[in-house]
Structure 1
Amino acid sequence: MQRVFRRAFSGRDFLWRHRCFSQLAQSEISIQEKDVLLPKMPPFDYSPPPYNGPSAAEILQKRIEFLSPSMFCFYKKPLNVVDGKMQYLFDEDGRRYLDAFGGIATVCCGHCHPDVVEAIVNQTKRLQHSTVLYLHHAIAEFAEALASKMPGDLKVVFFTNSGTEANELAMMIARLYTGYHDIISIRNAYHGNAAGTMGATAQSGWKFNVVQCGVHHALNPDQYRGVFGSDGEKYAKDLQGLIDYGTTGNVAGFIAEAIQGVGGILELAPGYLPAVYGSIKKAGGLCIADEVQCGFARTGSHFWGFEAHGVVPDIVTMAKGIGNGIPIGAVVTTPEIAQVLTQRSYFNTFGGNPVCTAGGHAVLRVIEKEKLQENAFVVGSYLKERLTSLKEKYEIIGDVRGRGLMLGVELVTDRQEKTPAKIETIHVMDQMKENGVLIGKGGFYGNVFRITPPLCFTKEDADFLVDVMDHTMSKM
């Protein structure tokens, strides 16, 4: 299969095929043939209202003229999303797409979930914003609800606007509390793009040439490409070596995702976090769990990603799923550690905005009421099994990994060498969009499909996703 694919996608022939495959309607395939060949999207009882706004082409032109040149779009023909309902999105023509990316693991309850929308609208009608210098029940009640989901003494909440901001604050707290400066993170990690978090991020494609100091990057406990395979304790010894040889022997803290999102849905090797947490504690540091992508029931087996490793961090950061799309993040820590911020004035104008916190509280209620954690486990396990069966069918699939509804599919042109299939990944992703399925991509080489749909995803949705991927790969 690999030889056929490389031959078909070589030279000018590749360019012609790539352009042809990316067209919305493949004219060489009759409607009757498409009805036979293409998988059928599950039925859904919703039709969006007519869209009368600017076209995709007009919006793209305005983006080019008025927005940052750093912004980029997925797909050769960018998608103009104008409507959303639960696990589906709709374009300007009213065409429905299965959203298996969830706005980068952000939409957990479903697009425009009625309970979340109602909470946001009702609060907006009463009070859109004031300041945390005044009292408001939405802020206090959401903090209490969040604290009830945390283990141990983790019960003090600081609200922020994003995951980057939450991680910035967590790292500062660790440095203030311990009196040390050095932070250890893991290679291939992504923790944000501000001054401190860019230092903790460990992928060159996300790092600018600005001062980034005080952060050391340990070997990534990558079970697919890592030098020690799935032996988490061996990777932990490397981190201990960083402490012994790269620091004074004392560190401020350690920050890690239980499952690396931007890094390509990489679940840390078993045994790694318990061993590392022990080393960090001995060095006087705090342990920070970055739950921005894998928190809020997404992994299915647990509400928080770190819980699968049997550890309790000192600080937990979160965003994305916390608001189902509302810009809000949070840092949760213990009362003792939280006291360090009283050394000076710490303030956040929008951290705890009543509209955002009312919406976030509604998200927690929906997760509980609709048993979305259980659904993430059941549907995610089923989807992973189906993707694994696809791996047995196509040599280009090198690895299927993750848990719950946070899954990754890595494409390689050679399974032995694990050569990243970058161009093929873009092709499959583009074709799946043409056939009605939206997925993300990531990983250091950009060759990993990131499947992080809303937690209301069904088995029928999972079947459609895999069938479309199967159909696309069968055409290569």
Structure 2
Amino acid sequence: MYRCCLPRPYLQNGVRLLSSQPMGVPVPSSQDLKMPPCDYEPPPYKGPEKRHIQQVRGNLLSPALVTHFSEPLLIHDGYMQWLFDYNGKRYLDLFGGIVTISVGHCHPKIIAAATEQMNRLWHTTNIYLHPKIHEYAERLTQTLPGDLKVVYFVNSGSEANDLAMMMARLHTGNFDILTLRNSYHGASPYSAGLTAHGTWKYNFAHSFGIHHVMNPDPYQGLWGGSRDSPIQSTRASESDVVNGVCSSVGKYIGQLDEVLQYSLPGGKLAAFFAESIQGVGGTVQFPLGYLKEAFELVRSKGGLCISDEVQSGFGRTGEHFWGFEGHGVVPDIVTMAKGIGNGFPLAAVVTTPSVAKTMSQALHFNTFGGNPVASAVGLAVLEALEENEIQRNCSEVGTYFLQNLAKLREEYPVVGDVRGKGLMIGVEMVQDRNTRVPMNPQMMMKIWDSCKDLGVILGKGGYYGNVFRIKPPMCISYDDVDFTVGVLRKVLHKTMSE
């Protein structure tokens, strides 16, 4: 069985050190950049030629299926934090299939659970009893606080957020919903209304009754702020925070309250959606205390509070199992997907018995939701998270990662912000550190491609595509961090010197 992470001890007198190489470290040469070892060898690739695959992609698949990087990768195999292309080249995957691979590519425990269940029973729908969905529901709800005890299984994050919208509207009898600008909650015709990223919207009717409020961004936002991260924005100050609440919170909450007053009938609403840390939007965190005050205001207007944990759940933030716990809140509904199945199509909505009772007024059915294979996989993921101490790894390796990325911010003026918590990390690239103007797409692409060529796969996000999204399989090690920071340092040095 795979033994998770932390391969290099970083211990001195029994104490784990979180410091790394000192400032002024020489830029590593290509010879110095040694990829950490991996004891897995992929089998030879026997599929179609890459040229043929690209032709099929261009002619037979949706033209909206864009590929990352100037020269698309043809991925053949995966193991834990590693991906292998059709030539056998190994890459350190720091994007995890868009924040979906939680415990590692092809984790042996997950493979075993799926194989065992597939050999026994794939599908009956839930018109019959089968054991796995019941075992899984019991185990999953045990991870959640308060009265969050009733689970609905679906197949994707968009489905989960669609269902949460319906639940809130039916339960409250209200229609209007609030989300934050820069948020992403899905791309289905229904959830696209929740998403407040123009790059993800089409010109068709959507967003009925949905209002997007000002995003409380500590780096780019109007009033800045301090956040729950080992690394603060250059705009933050210790004097900003009093009793755990940032001074900018009142101003951002004032903007939310204005929308309630001016845009909603009688100020009544059905729900407020929020990611604990914005994912697609570029790992944006909120000022300390914002979410708690927002939840209080929303509930005073009759609304439910919905936490989108599609990217920030399952221990990724390190300190807590669920991202919302870091804000000191308990929502009324939680949506989850991606890491819940480690790449298997699985998602869920968890709510209270009171909200669930409303949903019993009519039939509700999802053909594949909670099918035997998905339930077996989900249960195995929870077991692997515990057995491999994944949450601890996120906290310790993630903090180490953030601290070392922050040194790049000090060394290179194009690194505008380093932020995040655990292994949900963002690095915002800029043209000008003082104005925070986003880095131009050509330079961003050059850095992105160069890191890939040296063996590191980074994600990219934010409205302007200028934020490197680092959300790897949560089994990465200190050695992986050192390699990544070395690659980034080398690429930034070369790019800035040209």
- Indicate whether the TM-score tops 0.5: yes
Give the C-alpha shift of residue 194 in structure 1: 1.3
2:341 aligns to what?
A: 323
2:111 aligns to what?
A: 117
1:20 aligns to what?
A: none
Residue number among 400, 414, 418 corresponding to 2:432 in the alignment:
414
Q: Give the letter for the 2:254 counterpart.
A: K
- State TM-score, norm by structure 1: 0.92
Structure 1: distance between partners of 2:30 and 2:367 = 56
1:44 aligns to what?
A: 38
The answer to whether the Cα contact below 8 Å between 1:56 and 1:79 also exists between their aligned partners in 2 is no
1:218 aligns to what?
A: 213
Structure 2: distance between partners of 1:147 and 1:420 = 41
Structure 2: distance between partners of 1:186 and 1:316 = 16
1:227 aligns to what?
A: 222
Classify the secondary structure of the residue corresponding to 1:195: coil
For the pair 1:396 / 2:414, whether they are aligned, the reply is yes
Residue number among 78, 98, 102 corresponding to 1:108 in the alignment:
102
Structure 2: distance between partners of 1:37 and 1:266 = 35
Q: Give the letter for the 1:93 counterpart.
A: N
The answer to whether the Cα contact below 8 Å between 1:108 and 1:455 also exists between their aligned partners in 2 is yes
The answer to whether the Cα contact below 8 Å between 2:117 and 2:373 also exists between their aligned partners in 1 is yes
Structure 1: distance between partners of 2:138 and 2:204 = 39
1:130 aligns to what?
A: 124
1:245 aligns to what?
A: 262
Give the C-alpha shift of residue 37 in structure 1: 4.4
Classify the secondary structure of the residue corresponding to 1:126: coil
1:94-243 map, 5 Å: 94-212=88-206, 213-230=208-225, 231-243=248-260
The answer to whether the Cα contact below 8 Å between 2:178 and 2:271 also exists between their aligned partners in 1 is yes
Structure 1: distance between partners of 2:257 and 2:177 = 13
Q: Which runs of 5+ in 2 are unaligned?
A: 1-27, 226-247
Give the C-alpha shift of residue 35 in structure 1: 7.1
Classify the secondary structure of the residue corresponding to 1:266: coil
395-404 or 51-60, larger mean C-alpha shift: 51-60
161-170 or 46-55, larger mean C-alpha shift: 46-55
2:284 aligns to what?
A: 266
For the pair 1:454 / 2:454, whether they are aligned, the reply is no
2:446 aligns to what?
A: 427
Backbone CA RMSD of aligned residues = 1.0
For the pair 1:257 / 2:252, whether they are aligned, the reply is no
Structure 2: distance between partners of 1:83 and 1:385 = 31
Q: Which runs of 5+ in 1 are unaligned?
A: 1-33
Structure 2: distance between partners of 1:235 and 1:57 = 51
Structure 2: distance between partners of 1:61 and 1:140 = 45
Give the C-alpha shift of residue 228 in structure 1: 1.5
Give the C-alpha shift of residue 36 in structure 1: 4.7
1:86 aligns to what?
A: 80
The answer to whether the Cα contact below 8 Å between 1:83 and 1:90 also exists between their aligned partners in 2 is yes
- How many equivalent pairs are there? 443
Structure 2: distance between partners of 1:76 and 1:474 = 21
Q: Give the letter for the 2:384 counterpart.
A: V
Structure 2: distance between partners of 1:200 and 1:47 = 43
Q: Deviations over 1:394-431 (max 9, x none)?
A: 11000000110010001001011111112222111101
Q: Give the letter for the 2:352 counterpart.
A: T
- State TM-score, norm by structure 2: 0.88
Structure 1: distance between partners of 2:260 and 2:127 = 41
The answer to whether the Cα contact below 8 Å between 1:318 and 1:330 also exists between their aligned partners in 2 is yes
Q: Give the letter for the 1:150 counterpart.
A: L
Structure 1 residues 180 and 36: alpha-carbon distance in aligned structure 2, compared to 1, 3 A threshold: closer
Q: Deviations over 1:133-170 (max 9, x none)?
A: 11111101111111000000001000011000000000
The answer to whether the Cα contact below 8 Å between 2:398 and 2:421 also exists between their aligned partners in 1 is yes
Give the C-alpha shift of residue 179 in structure 1: 0.2
Q: Give the letter for the 1:300 counterpart.
A: G
Classify the secondary structure of the residue corresponding to 2:330: coil
Give the 4+ runs in structure 1 shifted more than 6 A: none
Q: Which has more helix, going by share of residues?
A: 1
Q: Deviations over 1:180-214 (max 9, x none)?
A: 00000000000001122111100111011111210
Percent identity over the alignment? 51
55-64 or 44-53, larger mean C-alpha shift: 55-64
The answer to whether the Cα contact below 8 Å between 2:29 and 2:490 also exists between their aligned partners in 1 is no
Q: Deviations over 1:41-77 (max 9, x none)?
A: 0011110011111122221111111100111000111
Q: Deviations over 1:282-315 (max 9, x none)?
A: 1101000000000010010111111100000000
Structure 1: distance between partners of 2:492 and 2:51 = 29
Give the C-alpha shift of residue 469 in structure 1: 0.6
1:273-352 map, 5 Å: 273-352=291-370
For the pair 1:55 / 2:49, whether they are aligned, the reply is yes
Q: Give the letter for the 1:270 counterpart.
A: L
Classify the secondary structure of the residue corresponding to 2:119: helix
Structure 1: distance between partners of 2:249 and 2:470 = 25
Q: Deviations over 1:427-455 (max 9, x none)?
A: 11101110000010000110000000011
